Structure 1
Amino acid sequence: MKRLARVRAGRDQRTPVTALFWRICLLNGVVFTLGTLILALSPATVSARLRLTEVPVLVIGLAVMLTANALALRTSLAPLDELVTAMRRVDPPRRAVRFDRRASGDFHRLIETFNAMLDRLEAERSAAGATALAAQEGERQRIARELHDEIGQSLTVALLRLKRVVDRAPEELRDEVTDAQETVRGCLDEVRGIASRLRPDVLDDLGLHSAVTALCHEFTRSAGISVHREVDPSISRLDPAVELVCYRIAQESLTNVLRHSGADQVSLRLAGHADSVVLRVHDNGCGGVVTEGAGIRGMRERAMLVDATLTITTSEDAGTTVELVVPVHREAHVGEPV
């Protein structure tokens, strides 16, 4: 059975090449047969010794046959050119457009194999990306927990001890101890902020609506850039993977605004539809993104994990817009693992 399967697989692999060979042979045979019939039935004749007056007839006949042959081959091989164009458009971070098998003529098996190859590559890439991102999120969660539980508690103990030292310190040292106390308090706030950005508890506890709202408030507080927020309150709890992707892309978009755009206004809109959730982040910055860095590539990889479409439009006079459209197939139960 295995040998029979290998033989069939070999035949399937040779089928496109064999079909192409016989098609070219058939086209050439038809063209030259028609040319021969036309010359045979036409009044033109060729002497045993070629005359100068007969040369134009032969040249014209040859030119007609070659032209007809070229046109027939060009029409027959056109799907190959389209297939090459489709191959050149394949970009790993983006979902490739499938080739239309119905318009492929005799190359339908080749086109079908190409589309199947794209399916396998994207499935492997999605699985690998999901594994890597799951490991990344797990590591973020572990670090956030350690920051909150270990370092956060140690800094809290230090603050309590400094408070007792302030109460007992002599007057000439009280200001210095108070400054140290404020420094430790600032470190504690920073540690809590880092832990929250690494893995927001509000996303797991209250869902995407509350997490995005808290993200916008934190961004405005830390960056000093106003965010006009529109979050659809009717959005219910989604699949945890979808919520995490939406949150991370919103987070990365706001981070890019702060780092690169020079904007002073940002609008964030999260809307729910019957079969999709749309996240749109727009800024009034300089725009003109030419090359995509690691942040944008990461957003595209995350979007592919949930079969979403990520579109980034940018111009120097209209800022940058990031739009994520996530198909929603079902609602997940609260607490379902990612």
Structure 2
Amino acid sequence: MSLFWRIFLLNAAVLVTATLLLLGPVTVSTPVLLTEAVVLSVGLIAMLVANAALLRVGLAPLRRLARAMATIDLLQPEPRLAPGGPGGTAELIHAFNAMIDRLEAERAASAAAALSAQEAERRRVAQELHDEVGQTLTAVLLELKQVARRAPDPLRGQLTQVQETTRDSLDEIRRIARRLRPGVLEELGLVSALKALVTEITGHTDLTVEQHLAVDLPALGSEAELVLYRVAQEALTNTVRHGKATTVELSLRRRTGAVRLRVRDDGRGIGAAPEGTGIRGMRERALLIGAQLSVGPAAGGGTEVRLTVPVAERDGGS
């Protein structure tokens, strides 16, 4: 039973008891006159209605708080509840808001540490793939080339096939290393890194990517550029794996006080499917830099991922 009905029924019991007493020994007429019974009944009903209305108004902040507690998601921050109602209710809402602030700060700190460790591990694995496995396969290719030159004709064809397989494996390892550690992002910047990402994806799939990448971007910082790159990478990867799309639009635009990344495809959309680890990972990255991420259906079908990164305007922007 809800708090409203508990308080209402307790008050109703008191009022009904008082009315029965008036209709019983404590009355002005014996037996009770019809007019007195009608007046008392109407008065009781009026008091119950007034009691219910006052309780409904008084407990409204608690209902709002309960809805907020049931629907809140730390990865999708919403405006805080405005403290209202009686003193105790206002204090409760204020304490709830303070608790959410602490939880969001702690989650942001832990997510930053986890993502930093993840990027460090990616760099380490990419370096080992490039230096150890890549160099080993390169040496194997050179040895196979030397052996193939001296091998008799029946074996030369097989050795050539082994060479091609080894070369394909080497290319795949290099591609994985580039995805783990986008060196072009550090060396040439965000726009060049996104172009390289598109080239890599279109080179291995039938997906057509329309690029609209602005060159007049403000200074973003290495952390913001990495978040933008990873969100674009995850969005394109999801399109290839799950979207069944044929065309994707990738745009990076400058807005007033912000930079906006948008990835929109013409696939089957996300429908009512729950968010997976990839989307939640994008949300965690967005929170690290105070950006806003939205993932939903695109106009005309498909899926649209939009990331808005706030920046400090120095020249008025566009």
The TM-score, its normalising length taken from structure 1, stands at: 0.80
Q: After TM superposition, give the deviation of residue 237 of structure 1 in Å.
A: 4.1
* Contact kept in structure 1, 2:184 and 2:192, CA below 8 Å: yes
Q: After TM superposition, give the deviation of residue 127 of structure 1 in Å.
A: 0.8
Separation of aligned partners in 1, 2:244 and 2:58: 53
Q: Deviations over 1:117-173 (max 9, x none)?
A: 111010011111111111111111100000001111111111112222222222222
Q: After TM superposition, give the deviation of residue 289 of structure 1 in Å.
A: 2.8
Give the match's secondary structure for 1:92. coil
Aligned residue in 2 for 1:307: 290
Aligned residue in 2 for 1:179: 161
Match among 58, 66, 72 for residue 84 of structure 1: 66
Separation of aligned partners in 1, 2:29 and 2:222: 86
Aligned residue in 1 for 2:203: 221
- Larger deviation, residues 188-197 vs 269-278: 269-278
User: Which residue identity lines up with residue 62 of structure 2 in the other structure?
Assistant: L
Match among 71, 76, 80 for residue 94 of structure 1: 76
User: Which residue identity lines up with residue 307 of structure 1 in the other structure?
Assistant: G
User: Which residue identity lines up with residue 149 of structure 1 in the other structure?
Assistant: D
User: Which residue identity lines up with residue 116 of structure 2 in the other structure?
Assistant: A
1:130 maps to 2:112 = yes
1:251 maps to 2:233 = yes
Aligned residue in 2 for 1:47: 29
Separation of aligned partners in 1, 2:250 and 2:279: 17
1:116 maps to 2:59 = no
* Contact kept in structure 2, 1:96 and 1:118, CA below 8 Å: no
User: Which residue identity lines up with residue 323 of structure 1 in the other structure?
Assistant: R
Give the match's secondary structure for 1:83. helix
Q: After TM superposition, give the deviation of residue 200 of structure 1 in Å.
A: 0.7
* Contact kept in structure 1, 2:264 and 2:298, CA below 8 Å: no
Q: After TM superposition, give the deviation of residue 275 of structure 1 in Å.
A: 1.8
The CA RMSD over aligned residues, in Å, is 2.5
The TM-score, its normalising length taken from structure 2, stands at: 0.85
Match among 129, 150, 155 for residue 137 of structure 2: 155
Separation of aligned partners in 2, 1:249 and 1:74: 46
Alignment gaps of 5+ in structure 1: 1-23, 33-44, 332-338
- Larger deviation, residues 92-101 vs 219-228: 92-101
- Larger deviation, residues 143-152 vs 228-237: 228-237
Gap change, CA 1:128 and 1:236, over 3 Å in 2: same
Give the match's secondary structure for 1:289. coil
Gap change, CA 1:315 and 1:322, over 3 Å in 2: closer
Structure 1 segment 1-338 matched on structure 2, within 5 A: 46-47=28-29, 49-101=31-83, 103-104=84-85, 106=87, 107-290=89-272, 291-314=274-297, 318-329=301-312
Alignment gaps of 5+ in structure 2: 1-6, 16-26
Separation of aligned partners in 1, 2:268 and 2:207: 15
Separation of aligned partners in 2, 1:56 and 1:146: 91
Q: Deviations over 1:218-266 (max 9, x none)?
A: 1111112110011110114422221111111111111111111111100
Separation of aligned partners in 1, 2:230 and 2:304: 16
